Amino acid sequence: MQTQFSTAITDLFGTRLPIVAGGLQWLANADYVAAAARAGVMGFITAASHATLAGLRDEIARCQDRAGDLPFGVNVSMLPAPAPGERVQETFEEIVRAGVRFVETSGRNPEPYLPLLHGAGIKVLHKAPSVRHALKAQTIGVDAVAVVGAECGGHPGVDLVGTIVQGALAGEALDIPVLLGGGIGTGAQVMAALALGVDGVTIGTRFLVAEEVWAHRHYKEALVRSRETDTALIMQSVRNTVRALRNETTELVTELERAHGGDFEVLRPHVSGQLGRRVYETGDSRTGTVSLGQAVAFADRIEPLDAIVRRIEAEMREALTALSRFGLSSPSLAS
């Protein structure tokens, strides 16, 4: 595979472009991740989408069949603190047995699991909500980090630092390969991130309208109609901020937080992951909490993932051309 945009991230993953398709809870299955691999970007199956280790094992095997020798990984999201009945250790052991080469971790410190993963030759990317957390991840020995800004869907952290600020700080502070995520959905933004000093980007929301994502078409059509203002921040009162699609549920949760701030048990029935999954299954997005970033503004039509990636790549080249008007070029990035 000829590298078109060479950075420390493309070198690490062996991809054509410095783009990671972020792990999407319930949605990042073998079809989506293999499509990402074929499009020249990195994708991660979400382990938390599978109720059993056997289910995860089968999904990894499906992706291996579809992706062939192309790179892909598995996302393991961990709770902030170990909990009874969790199966994090067993999940990592299953990933090792399956011969997966890359893992994306998020949530708590992955340090206890690094000897197992590195011993199997697995490269570890850790997702962090701030540069401070990313620096900690660097000190424990992860191979790369992803820093997300406040515009991202899902969990942007409690400090809500914007993506462009996070990128400038991360590009200066970190020595290992670093990705930037949050509100990124165009090729010009990818090039802007590289100019900030990071090595690549994480894209999640922009890819939700890919044909390979199994979510109901009505849900995708709702995203195409959405704007950057159609997301809401909830669960700030319990220090577990989530950016989600603005709907009846986010309005209700906001009211409950005003009345019962800090009481998660009051919020729990309305923020269940199973309710979010039902949105994907039925296409009815009026209720349920589903993570969504402000990059939904760029999700302008439903099409194959490869077509979305190629549009972004074309925009990256257009950005380079635009810079050339100022006598600037990046020969190390362009083929």
pLDDT at 331: 45
Range list for CATH 3.20.20.70 in the chain? 8-203+303-324
pLDDT at 335: 44
- Over 90: is that where the pLDDT of 332 sits? no
Condensed to tens digits (0 to 9), the pLDDT of residues 134-167 reads 999 999 999 999 999 999 999 898 899 999 999 9
pLDDT at 23: 77
- Over 50: is that where the pLDDT of 122 sits? yes
Condensed to tens digits (0 to 9), the pLDDT of residues 231-263 reads 999 999 998 899 999 999 999 999 999 999 889
- Over 90: is that where the pLDDT of 101 sits? yes
Confidence of residue 96 (pLDDT cuts 50, 70, 90): very high
Average pLDDT over residues 269-291: 92
Architecture of domain 8-203+303-324: Alpha-Beta Barrel (3.20)
pLDDT at 324: 81
Q: What burial class does residue 312 get, using C-beta atoms within 10 Å of its C-beta: 0-12 exposed, 13-18 middle, 19+ buried?
A: buried
C-alpha 187/C-alpha 49 separation (Å) is 29
- Over 50: is that where the pLDDT of 59 sits? yes
Distances, alpha carbon 116 to alpha carbons 90, 92, 296, in Å = 11, 8, 37
